[in-house]
């Protein structure tokens, strides 16, 4: 079985007397170790799809198996548990706690997991070292650049050793040079760290760091191809 297996996923929203499908019969498989870019314009369904992958939203119908677990059958506590064990999140807005140091921000997922303080400290310092920020562990978010904040967010995403990283427009608030640095780090996490990465972006130059490109339009997948084929056919 694939690491992620989604079949016939539909998400319907009701507004007054009208309804629309944010996701419309979406099926997708992702194997362990893939690096997938999800592309599409605003309103295409890519963010709704990412929220479903992240166990943050439930579809109206369809099935979702994550590493063999039927996600849609789980209660809120079990969903929280699987998010903590299987998924690391990186967002466009960094989502760091403002008055908390880089080290304490990285420790946060381990608190929910119940890891003892001494082990939390060791793991958080190691994660910051991996992203090259061991010298910034006591700095607050407002004392760091955007790129440094995003690297803290990546350290937080990997600290529990989750096999899957979900990144939603992770370079949206970064300049070009910093975006390249962050994306090169994602490539390293994928190729050397063995992480499965699923990244939402509307930027073709960011999608080119992936190995597979899936395009959404009007809630449907309209294209799903290896990056080389997508580029060759002008799909970026």
Ranges of residues in the chain whose predicted pLDDT is under 50: none
Contacts of 122 (CB under 8 A, 6+ apart): none
DSSP code per residue over 129-149: HHTT-GGGTT--GGGS-HHHH
Q: How confident is the model at residue 12, as a pLDDT?
A: 94
Q: Is residue 15 part of a domain?
A: no
Q: In what order do the strands lie in the sheet with 220-226?
A: 87-91, 164-168, 196-200, 35-39, 212-217, 220-226
Q: Is residue 107 part of a domain?
A: yes
Domain enclosing residue 183, as ranges: 34-47+76-232
What gap in Å lies between CA 125 and CA 110, rounded to an integer? 13
User: Token pair of 37, please?
Assistant: 């870019």
Q: How confident is the model at residue 37, as a pLDDT?
A: 96
38 contacts 50 by C-beta, under 8 angstroms: yes
Q: Is residue 227 part of a domain?
A: yes
- CATH classification of the domain holding 160: 3.40.50.300
Q: How confident is the model at residue 236, as a pLDDT?
A: 62
| pLDDT tens digits for range 12-53 | 998 888 888 999 999 999 999 999 999 998 889 998 999 999
């Amino acid at each position: 079985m694939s690491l992620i297996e989604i079949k016939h996923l539909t998400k319907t929203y009701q507004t007054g007397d009208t309804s629309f499908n944010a996701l419309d019969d979406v099926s997708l498989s992702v194997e362990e170790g893939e690096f997938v870019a999800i592309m599409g314009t605003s309103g295409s369904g890519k963010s709704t799809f990412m929220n479903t992958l992240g166990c943050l939203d439930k579809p109206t119908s369809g099935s979702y198996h994550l590493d063999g677990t039927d996600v849609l059958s789980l209660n809120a506590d079990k969903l929280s548990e699987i998010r903590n064990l299987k998924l690391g999140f990186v967002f466009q807005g960094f989502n760091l706690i403002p008055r908390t140091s880089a080290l304490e921000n990285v420790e946060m997922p381990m608190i929910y997991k119940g890891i003892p303080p001494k082990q939390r400290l060791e793991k958080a310092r190691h994660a910051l070292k991996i992203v090259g920020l061991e010298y910034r562990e006591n700095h607050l978010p407002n004392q760091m650049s955007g790129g440094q904040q995003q690297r803290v967010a990546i350290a937080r995403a990997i600290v529990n050793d989750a096999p899957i990283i979900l990144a939603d427009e992770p370079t949206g608030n970064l300049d070009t040079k910093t975006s390249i640095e962050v994306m090169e780090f994602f490539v390293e996490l994928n190729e050397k760290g063995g992480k499965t990465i699923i990244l939402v972006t509307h930027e073709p130059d960011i999608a080119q760091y992936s190995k597979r490109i899936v395009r959404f339009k009007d809630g449907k997948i309209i294209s799903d191809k290896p990056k080389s084929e997508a580029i060759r056919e002008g799909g970026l």
